[in-house]
Amino acid sequence: MALKKLWLDLDTGVDDAQALMLALADPGVHILGISCVHGNTPLQNVLQNTLRVLRVCGRTDIPVYKGCQRPLLSPKQHASDYHGKDGLGDVPDPDPPSLDLLQKKKAVPAMIKAIKDNPGQVTLVATAPLTNLAVAVQLDPTLPEKLKALFLMGGNVNSRGNTTVCGEFNFVADTEAAFVVLERYTCPTFIAAWEFSCRSSLPWSFCDQWLSQDTVKARFMKQITAFSRGTAQSEDYLSTQSTAGHGFNSCDCYAMAAALDESLMLENEEVAVSVELEGAHTRGMMVVDYMEQLKKQHKVFLMKTFDLDKFKGMLMRSLQ
């Protein structure tokens, strides 16, 4: 059977690392490349973190590319309060991988070429601010029609934010890019929104089981997850993030897992969406057009329910 071809666009913090390790553990996948972008942590950290995860998994053969280091127009921001200043829980790396492992070619041209060379075969998974994707479609407007599918982690469906009053981090971190992507990418598009991931969170007891596996990968994940777990279980976080649920929520893993195995998506909702660009409180909010007033032909698939038992199995295998 032919391998499923993926291109990954990451801002590697802890949940991106978890998602990347899901993909690396799937024997049916060929990762054509990884484009890095600003987001959870500054770009230089994202590059280092991505190489670090690949090294732990013995996969530094996968090409990693340097992408956009700032948003199109939005103020630059990061998520160090949740992921740690370095994006991976501030766990020291005594022997960091050399940045010489990075490809010389820039991320956006590399992404465009990979998709062009494999028309209709590449699934693009983006778990980060969408700057690289927005720049790519500006350079090659035909790019979306060459994609097999696009899987995104981002946006929100009930106007409940995790970064601003009404905005989810990836869409707030580059609001114009999110708008461009939702307008211009007309390939089959699947979105794991913030509230969906919250509703689908897993028990902390499963997290303990997942991290207690006696492997190098599990010990690494336990180390880098400690900071964000402490934050997620703190009273201050739970009091301000009422939508976050009271369990283990690795947001990016839902988009990645669905891209790897679409059968995990038990229920999706097909609807047109956009992004609010101007509101004082609603800038970055995903607009869900149930009344069809936007008159958009292209509709996305919003994930609604997930096969959590199968998802747990994928997570367990990712650390074995």
Residues with a known catalytic role = 11
Whole-angstrom Cα distance, residue 227 to residue 84?
7
Looking up tokens 């790519």 gives 136
| DSSP conformation letters of 224-262 | HHHHHHHHHTSHHHHHH-GGG-SSB--HHHHHHHHHH-G
Residue 261: what residue type? Answer: D
Beta-strand runs (E) in 137-244: 149-153, 189-192
Whole-angstrom Cα distance, residue 42 to residue 222?
23
| Joined tokens for residue 177 | 């890019």
Residues 6+ apart with CB under 8 A from 217: 21, 56, 57, 318, 319, 320
Q: What angle, 0 to 180 degrees and rounded to 10, lies between the N-to-C axes of helices 216-232 and 43-56?
A: 140
Looking up tokens 């309060």 gives 81
Whole-angstrom Cα distance, residue 114 to residue 136?
12
Looking up tokens 């291109």 gives 7
Provide the β-strand partners of residue 126.
Answer: 9, 152
Residue 275: what residue type? Answer: V
| Joined tokens for residue 192 | 């794991």
> CA–CA distance from 163 to each of 1, 78, 150 (Å)?
42, 10, 24
